[in-house]
Amino acid sequence: MRYFSLFFIILVTISLVAKDAKSSIFSHQVNSNKESNSLIYADEVIYEKELDLIVAKGNVEIVRNGRILLADVVTYNKKTDLLTASGNVKLQESKGEIIFLDYAELSSDFKDGFVKHVRMLFPDEARLVASCAKRAQGELMHFEGPVYSPCKLCKNDPSKPPLWQVKARHAEWDETKENIYYTDAFLEMFGWPAFYLPYFSHPAPNAKRRTGILSPTFSYISELGPSITTPVFIVLSKDKDLTLSPTFFTKNFFMLQAEYQQRFERGEFSISGSVTSGEEIKNQLLKNRPKTKESGKKRWHIFSTARYEFTKNIRGGLDIERASDSTYFKRYKNLGITRQNSLTSKAYVEGFWGRSYGQIQSVVFQGLRQGDQAATTPKLLPMVDYNFLSQPDNLGGRFSFDGNFLSLARKEGTNIQRLSGTGGWQIPYLSSWGEIYTIGAKLRGDTYHIQDFNYTSAPSLQQNGPLFKGTISRALPQAYANWRMPFIRPFAEYRLIAEPIIGFIASPNIRHPNKLPNEDSRFFELDDINLFNDNRMAGLDRIDGGTRLNYGFNIDVFAKMIGNSNLFIGQSFAFNRPHENLRGTGLHKGFSDYVARFKYNYKNWVNLNTRFLLNRNNLAPRRSEISVGVGKPILRLQTDFIQLPRFAEDPNDRAGKQIRFTLSSNFIENWSASISTTRQLGRLGGTLANVATLTYTDECFIFSHSLSKTFYIDKDVKPGTTYMFRIVFKNLGEVSQSFGNKTNPLTGEPII
């Protein structure tokens, strides 16, 4: 018989020796000290009465306290409470470690013992090998001559040493603290000793998180000099932790960073920040103003995020982003925080009910651009949104309602309160010919209460022009209909799908009052995405009135031999004269400029994505976005080009053209390299950044270089060269160094 259950072993033992089996590894009864039960399976069990031994042979499996022991032969001495195992011995721990042994002497609870020729496999596939080991109290394992590595072995020749490994005279694995400690250790690379470490430790591969010192970071920034950051991770409890990261600069000042995280049953909270008393550098672009420094000024930042689910339909949150001044992140690049134009802080509550959604939020901004002033920066206190979509009615149509309330305030400048609502009904229809219709109607109404709005358009009167205070209301009814009809033609080698599209929108051509401010619709782009929308504006302050006809043509070709492609081109015709605020957007004439899109890909060899806004008279591009990738990972060229016009109502916006070339290669397994250059085109153009990278990466090791050179000035960010060097050993932490101004290794842009 192959397997015996625990009950059957007890019955056989009683029938042979006619005495109490007492407490043993083979006992199914719970002991008086309430230790866990044990279970054994084996091909054969022998009880030797004279020696008081129980021997299990053939496919032995013993389960106790979550541990599983497998062996060919297991012998248990009841007098000494000692268990010996031999022949293909394998011990699986409760946390997932698997220990392969040639021979083992263990206590009946597996907590103490001696083993030979240990081969340990951790859950993350890291390995530890030793000539022998001793286990004490189920918490400590002492290894003699250990070798540890998380790297995979060579498939063709497993006898080769891994990429890196740790060899030591002695090691101790503390299962309670989840640490491995080494004495007289060498770190070997490719089998050759690289570093000698008389004593060091690292977390066991199965450790999720533990209090300790993290890998330090060394950096050099030209304005600040060399610095070192030594983070300390502190586990406060199973649901919260704290990271403290002091940074020491050679220019005799100090920065402290901190991050606190906590999880709740129905939410989470985190807060991070930094504080220092360094120097404040004034804007270096102001040539007529002397550069000044304010030493001892406290400079800081704070980021915080909170989320909480009050019910299954309602949740809330709080996001905080604040800094002491606009150049803090650019000045202290060691923070590695990228922020472009502003910081946003908001508190909100939102709800979900079927197809309906509602949100109440208050938003505060901090501008980081040159010229931004806190007194004129708006605050949304509050903004309320509600969206409703009904179930289909008897005709298949749906009713919808979108509501918005906004209270926008400034210390200096215009304050507004806006109440807006849009109700509508829409029905889709599919004809027997395959035509797709969408028909609908909407009615929108807005009411504004405005204070201190300077409505003059003359730049010379901006400071002392007339101010408007009052209430303005408006309404916009709209009716619209869209038609499309896809034609599909299969061929032997390819499939063609052609689809003409027509849309008609009818509404009064309401003029935008010059006493009505524009806060949320300053940026407008006519493109292939919004061409057929009944409202093409980004916000609510500008209305998209008038009667117009939209038309376009979309074609898709799918072919195995030549690849897949898509082409779309469209235009809009306005029956009314376009408003002045649309000048420069492509809609300033009756016939708009053309919007176009073209995509092509061929078996991952070629990828082309383009979008254009083309002049209707000569097809000259007004706006272009082109991305082309050619080649395989062994050698690939990527080109990205963007041409942006000046937006209609943003005086700070500037037209520009920019292009980036990137040549990359995964030339050998685990090795990759790239070079890129980014240029600003035009009369005042030039090179913005050059970047080169070289990286080796596998499952246990990362080795990377990045060299970049920037050529532009942004406030107090100067042109500079950056070199970054990084080494990561899995489970041993990482060492990273950077010299010069930090930049993005892919784009060459500064990390601010």
List the CATH number of the domain containing 14: 2.60.450.10
620 within 8 A of 614, measured Cβ to Cβ: yes
- Looking at residue 590, what DSSP letter applies? S
The whole-angstrom separation of Cα 582 and Cα 293 is 45
Evaluate whether residue 106 is within a structural domain: yes
Lowest mean pLDDT among 40-49, 350-359, 470-479, 629-638: 40-49
Q: How many CB atoms are located within 10 Å of the residue 738 CB? A: 22
Evaluate whether residue 590 is within a structural domain: no
Segment 263-277 shows an average pLDDT of: 92
SS3 222: coil
Q: How many domains, in total, are found in the chain?
A: 2
Evaluate whether residue 397 is within a structural domain: no
Q: Tell me which of 346 and 234 has the higher pLDDT.
A: 346
Evaluate whether residue 105 is within a structural domain: yes
End residue of a domain, out of 172, 203, 234:
203
The whole-angstrom separation of Cα 163 and Cα 149 is 9
Structure-token match 């591969």, residue found:
205
Evaluate whether residue 693 is within a structural domain: yes
Evaluate whether residue 145 is within a structural domain: yes
The whole-angstrom separation of Cα 633 and Cα 629 is 11
Q: Please report which confidence band the pLDDT of residue 62 belongs to, taking 50, 70 and 90 as the band edges.
A: confident
The whole-angstrom separation of Cα 515 and Cα 456 is 8
Evaluate whether residue 150 is within a structural domain: yes
Has residue 612 got a pLDDT over 50? yes
| Residue-range definition of the domain harbouring residue 689 | 652-752
Bin 644: left if φ > 0, else alpha if -120 < ψ < 50, else beta: beta
End residue of a domain, out of 203, 232, 254:
203
pLDDT at 278: 61
Per-residue pLDDT reduced to its tens digit, 70-86: 888 888 888 787 888 88
692-720 burial: b if 16+ Cβ within 10 Å, else e = bbebbeeebbbbbebbbbbebeebbbeeb
Segment 262-278 shows an average pLDDT of: 90
Structure-token match 């009950």, residue found:
7
Strand partners, 448: 418, 472
The whole-angstrom separation of Cα 83 and Cα 81 is 7
Has residue 429 got a pLDDT over 70? yes
Segment 3-13 shows an average pLDDT of: 38
Mean pLDDT, the chain, rounded, equals 81
Per-residue pLDDT reduced to its tens digit, 446-493: 999 999 888 775 443 445 667 888 999 999 999 999 999 999 988 888
End residue of a domain, out of 170, 203, 236:
203
45 within 8 A of 56, measured Cβ to Cβ: yes
Q: Please report which confidence band the pLDDT of residue 712 belongs to, taking 50, 70 and 90 as the band edges.
A: low
Evaluate whether residue 438 is within a structural domain: no
